[in-house]
Amino acid sequence: MAGGMPVPWPKLGAEEAPASRGLTTRPDVHNLLAMQPLGYGNLPAARLDATFAALADPTRRAILARLASGEASVRELAEPFAMSQAAISKHLKVLERAGLVSGGRDAQRRPRKLEAAPLAEANEWLERYRQFWEESYGRLDELLEEMKQTAKPRASGRRATSKRKGRRER
């Protein structure tokens, strides 16, 4: 309860109202609610997952690279690949479900075009990690430089070895 008013409970089915600690009496529903992924910012996890899943295939990445230069039909997209138009269509469906490609209609032709928004969202998500690693590498560089400055030069107290099977000269 927030300020004496009951907190509205999301309707996910036939579950009962939350118990006093904000938990449902059905463990499966509580687990569903408690296991929602965090750390994606405002981006729904499913959309980000779909984008990365679509980008995981080299053929789909090549299709996106081709569409970056302009619209193309399925036949035009299939030309550089040793696969059928049906196989290319399956790849396009994955890209469309991820929101990376959209289709249109131009008389008899159905051109596909690149939709950049999901790529920009994925790039934004990756950018946070790039910044983290750059800062980490920067700290490592500083530490290594500090270690170089404070390191004592090694004394060369070793005896010279001859070139024959490691025997020491006397």
Q: How far apart are CA 68 and CA 110, in angstroms?
A: 17
The overall average pLDDT reported for the chain is 76
- % of the chain at pLDDT higher than 70: 64
- Report residue 157 as tokens: 């107290």
Residue 159 has pLDDT above 80, yes or no: no
- All domains of the chain in start order, with CATH: 41-147 (1.10.10.10)
Number of neighbours of residue 96 by Cβ within 10 angstroms: 16
Residue 170 has pLDDT above 60, yes or no: no
In this structure, are residues 88 and 74 in contact, taking their beta carbons and an 8 Å threshold?
Answer: yes
Residue 14 has pLDDT above 60, yes or no: no
Section 95-115 average pLDDT: 87
Q: How far apart are CA 96 and CA 68, in angstroms?
A: 15
Q: How far apart are CA 88 and CA 132, in angstroms?
A: 37
Residue 150 has pLDDT above 50, yes or no: yes
pLDDT per residue as tens digits for the range 31-73: 444 444 444 455 578 889 999 999 999 999 999 999 999 999 9
Residue 77 has pLDDT above 60, yes or no: yes
Q: Maximum CA pair distance of the chain?
A: 93
Per-residue pLDDT, 105: 76
